[in-house]
């Protein structure tokens, strides 16, 4: 095999070279702001955004994350083992919003049914249908007489390392298989054996997959590599035959199994993508606590399944970034009877009626929602409302669905606003996962407002949640800002902070102090516009950033004209 081994270095270098600085510069009106009481407390650390790595990784762990991230989106060539039947050529095609997160790609499950009992279609070894193939001869089809045909959408891989590190006992403590408390909720653990476990090892609490059929990230990677991409590996070494036809498989599969072999450092593909998923950070929650909608969420019984907090194991073998962390996935990782929302497919010990509770962290980025995707499109509020309604009228979540329906319009809006906080980056007022001039304008309005609370829009800019928008929050905003942090007046303070604090004026609202605006084309801050300013402009051609002088989102000929017109010493 060649590309999977060489791709690690080649594509890592490529990824490093194409990283973008993203900003959207919009010319807005003047914001007249006043600063409230100045706090002396240190600015809290920013929460990692969705798709970012965990805080606290070592240099070696960060390198593993970066390599895994590249390979997560790397299309596997046919000559390296892709197929012969598959759904996609890389992991990132399905886990795309953001990379490693939710997906809008669906897969098909099929099989037979008799008196409510699901069984695999005769000759098949699994219920998953592979929609693509290396050739038409190799293609698999869903049999016309299949009695059960279901669609499932991609789950998120966010913070898989933290989820894997939840002790089995914590998950088991949430279970109430016999509904001993009579609340109608009777979740249970799906005990499974990881593919990598030694013979005789104890079963683990499943936590990944729609049926909680997977307990570890490595098993998840190995299973998906073989079943979704046709890449056999040391843990899943047997190729899937098209519709169970072994004779066709012999003709179609031309690469010796297992197809995933070690790279120069001794890692396999499944190890590399496991690193990426294990080291993904949990989605942020902004504001971090205190929203009235969360109290309503608790009140109507949602937390009976969507349990807010767990604490990861303190096992010394875990990485510092994973060990002993409090996380808020809003999930119990248990199987529940979902009534009409069930998919009628069994998997291991998970019955036809049961589905695993999905995590809610990052749910604001999820479209469509639910395992079958029926809550898709429209606004976030529309998707959430549709998803909640689908939890009834039968099944363990029916009472919560009914309780939500009975809420006043105001309380429904508060609950939706809380869910919309799950995945929102701090200071991302417009919710597009970019911190730019639009958000700075909103932040300036909050500075003028001075005070806030968790249910106020300005809470998105109150990083320390002390109810006051002040210098601590301004420093946090500057740290989060996606564009370059310029200091055009050379006073040792970022221009954004100068403007927010009133040290500098910004009458045209372009986030450039008025005293510097006359020399906006001085990209290297040398005091004059000359040939040295052409270098960053050319380097960023076609991209956003500080060289996008007219704020249209792209460095182009208009920006070049601005530089040429300003040629010479700055005023």
Residue 124 confidence (pLDDT) above 80: yes
Residue 258 confidence (pLDDT) above 70: yes
Confidence (pLDDT) at 24: 25
Mean pLDDT computed over 282-287: 98
Residue 545 confidence (pLDDT) above 90: no
What's CA 472's distance to the chain center, in Å?
27
Instruction: Measure the CA–CA gap between 483 and 337, rounded to whole angstroms.
Output: 48
Confidence (pLDDT) at 93: 96
Tell me where in the chain the CATH 1.10.760 domain(s) lie. 292-420
Confidence (pLDDT) at 521: 82
Instruction: Measure the CA–CA gap between 443 and 481, rounded to whole angstroms.
Output: 11
Computed on alpha carbons and rounded to an integer, the radius of gyration of the chain in Å comes to 26
Secondary structure E strands in 87-242: 106-114, 117-119, 128-129, 132-133, 148-153, 191-192, 204-205
* Torsion (CA) 60, 63, 65, 67 in degrees, nearest 10: -140
pLDDT digits over 433-481, tens only?
Answer: 999 999 999 999 999 999 999 999 999 999 999 999 999 999 999 999 9
Instruction: Measure the CA–CA gap between 219 and 70, rounded to whole angstroms.
Output: 20
Instruction: Measure the CA–CA gap between 40 and 237, rounded to whole angstroms.
Output: 59
- Top CATH class of 292-420 equals mainly alpha
pLDDT digits over 290-334, tens only?
Answer: 999 999 999 999 999 999 999 999 999 999 999 999 999 999 999
Confidence (pLDDT) at 11: 39
Q: Residues 393, 401: contact at Cβ < 8 Å? A: yes
What's CA 128's distance to the chain center, in Å?
24
Mean pLDDT computed over 213-220: 98
Residues 6+ apart with CB under 8 A from 536: 523, 524, 546, 547
Global pTM?
Answer: 0.85
Closest CA to 274 of 154, 100, 153, 128: 100
Mean pLDDT computed over 392-417: 97
Mean pLDDT computed over 122-139: 96
> What is the average pLDDT value for the chain, to the nearest integer?
90
Instruction: Measure the CA–CA gap between 356 and 261, rounded to whole angstroms.
Output: 33
């Amino acid at each position: 095999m060649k590309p999977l081994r060489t791709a690690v270095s080649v594509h890592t270098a490529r990824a490093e070279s194409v990283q973008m600085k993203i900003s959207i510069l919009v010319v807005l009106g003047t914001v007249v702001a006043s600063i409230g009481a100045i706090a002396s407390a240190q600015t809290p650390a920013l929460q990692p955004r969705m798709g970012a790595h965990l805080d606290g990784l070592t240099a070696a762990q960060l390198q593993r994350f970066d390599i895994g991230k590249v390979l997560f989106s790397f299309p596997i060539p046919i000559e390296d083992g892709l197929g012969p039947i598959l759904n996609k050529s890389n992991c990132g095609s399905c886990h795309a919003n953001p990379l490693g997160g939710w997906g809008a790609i669906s897969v098909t499950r099929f099989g037979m049914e008799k008196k409510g009992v699901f069984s695999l279609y005769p000759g098949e070894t699994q219920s998953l249908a592979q929609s693509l193939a290396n050739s038409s001869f190799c293609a698999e089809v869903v049999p016309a007489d299949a009695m059960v045909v279901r669609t499932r959408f991609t789950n998120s891989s966010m913070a898989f390392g933290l989820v894997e590190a939840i002790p089995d006992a914590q998950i088991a403590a949430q279970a109430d298989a016999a509904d001993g408390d009579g609340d109608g909720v009777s979740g249970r653990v799906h005990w499974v054996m990881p593919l990598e476990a030694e013979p005789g090892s104890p079963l683990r609490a499943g936590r990944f997959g729609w049926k909680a059929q997977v307990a570890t990230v490595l098993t998840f990677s190995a299973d998906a590599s073989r079943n979704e991409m046709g890449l056999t590996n040391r843990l899943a070494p047997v190729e899937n035959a098209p519709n169970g036809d072994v004779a066709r498989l012999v003709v179609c599969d031309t690469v010796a199994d297992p197809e995933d072999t070690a790279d120069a450092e001794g890692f396999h593909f499944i190890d590399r993508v496991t690193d990426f998923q294990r080291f993904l950070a949990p989605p942020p929650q902004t504001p971090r606590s205190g929203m009235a909608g969360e109290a309503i969420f608790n009140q109507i019984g949602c937390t009976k399944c969507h349990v807010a907090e767990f604490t990861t194991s303190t096992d010394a073998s875990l990485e510092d970034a994973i060990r002993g962390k409090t996380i808020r996935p809003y999930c119990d990782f248990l199987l529940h009877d979902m009534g009409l929302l069930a998919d009628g497919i069994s998997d291991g010990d998970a019955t036809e009626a049961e589905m695993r509770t999905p995590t809610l962290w990052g749910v604001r980025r999820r479209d469509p929602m639910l395992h079958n995707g029926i809550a898709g499109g429209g606004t976030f509020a529309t998707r959430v409302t549709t998803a909640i309604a689908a939890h009834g009228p039968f099944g363990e979540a029916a009472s919560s669905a009914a309780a939500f329906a009975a809420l006043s319009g105001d309380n429904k809006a508060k609950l939706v606003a809380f869910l919309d906080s799950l995945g929102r980056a701090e200071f991302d007022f417009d919710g597009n996962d970019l911190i730019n001039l639009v958000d700075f304008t909103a932040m300036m309005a909050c500075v003028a407002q001075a005070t806030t609370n968790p249910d106020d829009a300005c809470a998105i800019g109150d990083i320390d949640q002390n109810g006051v928008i002040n210098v601590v929050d301004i420093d946090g905003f500057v740290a989060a800002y996606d564009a370059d942090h310029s200091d055009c007046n050379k006073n040792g303070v970022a221009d954004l902070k100068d403007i927010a604090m009133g040290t500098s004026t910004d009458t045209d609202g372009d986030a450039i102090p008025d005293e510097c605006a006359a020399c906006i084309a001085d990209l290297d801050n040398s005091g004059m516009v000359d040939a040295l300013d052409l270098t960053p402009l050319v380097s960023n051609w076609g991209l956003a950033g500080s060289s996008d002088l007219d704020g249209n989102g792209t460095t182009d000929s208009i920006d070049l004209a601005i530089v040429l017109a300003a040629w010479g010493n700055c005023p």
